[in-house]
Amino acid sequence: MTEGTPEFVSPEVINYDPIALTTDMWSVGVIAYVLLSGLSPFLGADNEETFDNITGLRYSFQDPEFETVSAAAISFVSFLLVVDASRRPSATQALEHSWLSADDDVDTVTAVAAAAAEGEGEGRSLRERLEHFVAKRRWQKCGNVIMVCNALLHNQRRHGAQAEDKGCQ
């Protein structure tokens, strides 16, 4: 895989398997997770770890950011994040999920908003969660640049030392 944002890529793209109409539904699940929490479900220290997390379906809802997220919303994300593309729901099936179609979630949203207004729970707005996600990604990219620079410097020093050794012979 050479294009795209690694943590949004579906398992079939990583494995070079045929893509299907449900391939994009994986990304919808990842986006829903990000919007609900401000976190990336599969983000690893590098692309390889991220891809391993995706293909191994290693994510959780244990972070404090999910304390105020409804069970129906969590169910929606889990419904979409299915490794086998043939078992993943279509867009039509996703739109029929209870989280998107039920009115009973309005009570949950109202309760969460009230708790946030009273200073209880996480209470972070969607904008704050997205800003947190973007900031975290920027820091990770900075860290990646530093690692590359260090590797290049190490490589340059190693080759410089080898060149000096050859010049002495």
For 20, counting Cβ atoms within 10 Å of its Cβ (0-12 exposed, 13-18 middle, 19+ buried), the class is middle
For 44, counting Cβ atoms within 10 Å of its Cβ (0-12 exposed, 13-18 middle, 19+ buried), the class is middle
* pLDDT at residue 119 in the model: 44
* pLDDT at residue 43 in the model: 93
Q: How far is CA 102 from the centre of its chain?
A: 26
* pLDDT at residue 152 in the model: 75
* pLDDT at residue 76 in the model: 96
pLDDT per residue, tens digit, the chain (169 aa), is 556 689 999 999 999 999 999 999 999 999 999 999 989 999 999 999 999 999 999 999 999 989 989 999 999 999 999 999 999 999 999 999 999 886 544 544 554 455 455 444 455 676 776 677 666 666 666 666 676 666 777 777 777 666 555 665 5
* pLDDT at residue 153 in the model: 76
* pLDDT at residue 105 in the model: 47
What gap in Å lies between CA 82 and CA 142, rounded to an integer? 31
What gap in Å lies between CA 39 and CA 58, rounded to an integer? 14
